[in-house]
Amino acid sequence: MSWVLGLSGLYHDSAAVLLHDGRVVAAASEERFSRVKHDAGLPVQATRWCLAHAGITMADVTHVTWYEKPLRKFERMLVSQVANFPRSASAFRRGTFNWLTEKLWVKAAIVKELGVAPARVLFSDHHQSHAASAFYASPYAEAAVLTVDGVGEWATTSLYRGGPGGLELLGEVLFPDSIGLVYSAFTAYLGFQVNDGEYKVMGMAAYGEPRFVDEVRKVLRPREDGAFDVDLSYVSYHWSADQSYTRRLEELLGPARFPGSGFDPTTAEGKRYADIAASVQRVTEDALVAIANVLHARTGLDTLCLAGGVALNSVANRALLTRGPFARLFVQPAAGDAGGAMGAALWTWHEVMGNPRTLDTPVLPGPGLGQAWDDATIGALLTDLRVKHEVLAPDTVAVRAAADIVEGRVLGWVQGRFEWGPRALGHRSILADPRRADMKDRINARIKYRELFRPFAPSVCAGAEGRYFDVPPGGEQLAEWMLLVAPVTTDDFPATTHADGTARLHVVHAAANPLYHALLTEVGRLTGHPVVLNTSFNLKGEPIVSSPVQALATFFRSGLDVLYLGAHRVEQTGSYDG
């Protein structure tokens, strides 16, 4: 038996993933323990939990692999900042300090904080980690592999062929030309936080028309060979640590949206922002499809495995399926930097240790790969905190919760192990009735405390999705991880149908999540539709809850009506016996 630990961190979304004989047994982002959203620190708490969950110590771990190579990344920072001196002086001072005091010495930090022997610490290339996370977690013996993000060491986009011999690098695009960084620059231009608000741009895009495509293509410029480059006069991410776009972008498109300001697509200014968001989204999709065409021509394969932060763009994923050349698309649920930890571990298992793939058992057993709490522990906690609660028989939890939903209550739902990746997939979710037209605004305003234009996802029982959603062939796996946007073909679910008539779909299989599937089934029995509104159990600006304590704290600070903690049911009114 062999254990391999993969780690990512020091930029955003740090995580730890533990493999046992090539299969994932534990995976968690550091933010779930630290409660710092997109935590960028060394994933010490996540690592300690992974080891504790497996019942092992660091002495049992064969290799600990970091998801990228610090020296090459430092080289890129130095070359870029020196090339752009003196305007890069501030970023150079700040970056050099961070590198020389922390980031360059990640191996020493791993050895010190985790108690690892130095000889057991390995380093994978950033995009190689992304590629491994996609290909080796997939069920396919051969596949084309595409990784697209902001930037790793130097690469921003990488093309691979995956097969029995491993991952073969076919080509790459280097910094500062970057689809991900351009999308982030427009994220900042539209008033959202970089590395956090990109999905808000996707949501805003649904309210607009892509009438600024020609202008955006002046920034992200397509080439005849299917690649792209960036006009650096419009962006500043290559020399500034504080600003990702220049005044010239505002001269091209008009004034940027002030962060935190309101968004009303019925006004001229709001419509302009929505149209810019739609244009950025369209140009991004076009660039990805063009690269996919090149990769398909190079490999001759019909399956594409996609990774990197851009792979979380569920609208672009649909474009790759419907407009691109591949018949199937696979994306593992933590496609961003957190997933680099899993890729680093899988790269080590297969390409360093030389272990062959076995496709009969899935590498990812399901969405719940994090920490869980048993009913006895939850019950003792509720009693100690003097929280009034009802204890349900396990086989009645789904029935009772479904009745609450149909009666119009909004539920907090904490069941089993928390999810791997940024999506709530029925383990740490807020649930409600999607048939109620007022439910979207109610949850955004009174429960999540976030922008009213933000959409929610529908969860649906596997096998029933075709009744309500247009799922393209080859996108079935994406829908399991909530990584696909699909047109809605019914008027029954106004609370989860976005402004453009689509929804970010979540298809639930009984084998992957039996309790959540049972809840959906019971909702279907009561209403005729096995569909619920599903969104992450957190408040704006906070990570998704992981523990019962965090769930209770969030529950009592929100407008949720009922909380289900395992087999325990807590009502908001009169729930404290003080």
Tell me the per-residue pLDDT of 544-564, one tens digit each, with 9 for 90 and over.
999 999 999 999 999 999 999
pLDDT at 272: 97
Q: Tell me the mean pLDDT in the region 554-577.
A: 88
Amino acid at 82: V
Q: And the tokens for 224?
A: 């005849």
**Set 12, 38, 63, 517: catalytic member:** 12
> Under 8 Å CB-to-CB from 1, ≥6 apart: which residues?
20, 21
Q: How confident is the model at residue 574 (pLDDT cuts 50, 70, 90)?
A: low
For residues 189 and 318, state if they share a domain: yes
Q: What is the spatial distance between Cα 516 and Cα 427, in angstroms, rounded to a whole number?
A: 8
Measure the CA–CA gap between 168 and 170, rounded to whole angstroms. Answer: 6
| pLDDT average, residue stretch 59-87 | 91
Residue 454 has pLDDT above 90, yes or no: no
The pLDDT of residue 573: 78
pLDDT in tens, 80-132: 888 888 888 787 788 777 777 788 899 999 999 999 999 999 999 999 999 99
Can you give the pLDDT at residue 455?
Answer: 86
- Residue ending a domain, among 352, 387, 410, is 352
Cα separation, 506 vs 457, whole angstroms: 7
pLDDT tens digits for 211-267?
A: 999 999 999 999 989 999 999 999 999 999 889 999 999 999 999 999 988 899 999
191 and 48 in a common domain: no
Q: What is the helix (H) or strand (E) element at residue 200, kind and residue range?
A: helix 198-205
pLDDT digits (tens, 9 = 90+) for 332-344: 999 999 999 999 9
Q: Which residues of 148-157 are buried (b: 16+ CB within 10 A; e: fewer)?
A: bbbbbbbbbb
Q: Which two tokens stand for residue 470?
A: 């247009």
Regarding whether 209 and 83 lie in a shared domain, the answer is no
SS3 state of residue 190: coil
State the alpha helices, DSSP H only, in 20-88: 31-34, 44-54, 70-83
Q: What is the pLDDT of residue 576?
A: 45
Residue 12: the pLDDT is 86
CA angle at residue 418 from 412 to 422, to 5 degrees?
A: 90
| 478 has a pLDDT exceeding 80 | yes
Q: What pTM does this model have?
A: 0.95
**What is the side-by-side order of every strand in the sheet holding 568-571?**
390-391, 568-571, 562-565, 411-414, 428-432, 531-536, 457-461, 502-508, 484-487
pLDDT at 151: 96
Looking at 275, 297, 329, which one is the last position of a domain? 329
Query: What CATH code is carried by the domain that includes residue 26?
Result: 3.30.420.40
386 and 467 share one domain: yes
Residues 128 and 335: their CA atoms lie apart, in Å, by: 13
The pLDDT of 52-57, averaged and rounded, is 97
Average pLDDT of the segment spanning 160-173: 97
Residue 70 lies in a domain: yes
Whether residues 190 and 107 fall in one domain: no
Which segments of 248-380 are extended strands (E)?
A: 303-307, 328-330
- Rounded to whole angstroms, the Cα distance separating 27 from 56 reads 15
In a domain, 220, yes or no: yes
Please count the other Cβ atoms lying within 10 Å of the Cβ belonging to residue 489.
12
12 is catalytic: yes
Consecutive H or E run containing 568: strand 568-571
CA nearest neighbour of 368 among 311, 308, 423, 306: 423
> Does residue 159 fall inside a structural domain?
no
Check whether residue 287 and residue 336 sit in a common domain: no
The CA distance from 406 to 80, in Å, is: 57
Q: CB neighbours of 271 closer than 8 A, spacing ≥ 6?
A: 207, 208, 265
In a domain, 161, yes or no: no
Query: What is the C-alpha to C-alpha distance for residues 125 and 169, in angstroms, rounded to an integer?
Result: 12
State pLDDT tens for residues 508-525: 999 999 999 999 999 999
Task: Quick: pLDDT tens for 379-408.
Answer: 999 999 999 999 999 999 999 999 999 999
Q: Give residues with Cβ within 8 angstroms of 157, minimum separation 6.
A: 146, 147, 148, 172, 173, 178, 179, 291
Q: What share of the chain in percent tops pLDDT 70?
A: 99
- 356 and 14 Cβ atoms separated by less than 8 Å: no
434 class by beta-carbon count within 10 Å (0-12 exposed, 13-18 middle, 19+ buried): buried
Number of domains in the chain: 3
Backbone angles phi, psi at 383, to 5 degrees: -65, -45
Same domain, yes or no: 321 and 389: no
Residue 322 placed within a domain: yes
Distance CA 230, CA 173 (A): 11
> Hey, what amino acid is at 195?
N
Instruction: Find the domain containing 389 and state its range.
Output: 375-571
Q: Is 454 helix (H, G, I), strand (E, B) or coil?
A: coil
Whether residue 214 sits in one domain with residue 307: yes
Q: Is residue 154 part of a domain?
A: no
Tokens of 487: 């047109």
* Distance, CA of 420 to CA of 423 (rounded, Å): 8
The pair of three-digit structure tokens given for residue 491, joined into one six-digit string? 């008027």
Residue the block writes with tokens 């990769």: 295
Domain of residue 542, CATH code = 3.90.870.20
Q: Check whether the bond before 70 is cis (ω within 30° of 0).
A: no
Statement to judge: residues 208 and 248 lie in one domain = yes
Does some domain include residue 144? no
Q: Is residue 169 part of a domain?
A: no
> Is 369 in a helix, a strand, or coil?
coil
Q: Which of 297, 314, 329 corresponds to the end of one domain? A: 329
Pure H helices in 385-528? 397-406, 439-442, 476-480, 514-527
What strands, in cross-sheet order, belong to the sheet with 3-8?
Answer: 23-29, 15-20, 3-8, 61-66, 121-123
Average confidence score pLDDT of the chain: 94
What DSSP state is assigned to residue 488? B
- Residue-wise over 409-421: b if at least 16 C-beta within 10 A, else e? bbbbbbbbbbbbb
- Tokens representing residue 127 in the block: 């995009």
Same domain, 405 and 345: no
CA distance 483 to 474: 13
What distance in Å separates the CA atoms of residue 195 and residue 151, rounded to the nearest whole number? Answer: 12
Q: Which of 73, 1, 117, 18 is nearest to 420 (CA)?
A: 18
Give the pLDDT of residue 159: 98
**Do 501 and 552 sit in the same domain of this protein?**
yes
Is the bond leading into 487 cis (omega within 30 degrees of zero)? Answer: no
Give the list of residues 6+ apart from residue 207 with CB closer than 8 angstroms, or none: 265, 270, 271, 274, 277, 278, 453, 499, 500
User: Measured between alpha carbons, how far is 19 from 6 in angstroms, rounded to an integer?
Assistant: 8
* 194, burial (CB in 10 Å: exposed 0-12, middle 13-18, buried 19+): middle
Within 10 angstroms of residue 258's Cβ, the number of other Cβ atoms is 8
Tell me, yes or no, whether 446 and 527 share the same domain: yes
Contact 468, 488 (CB under 8 A): yes
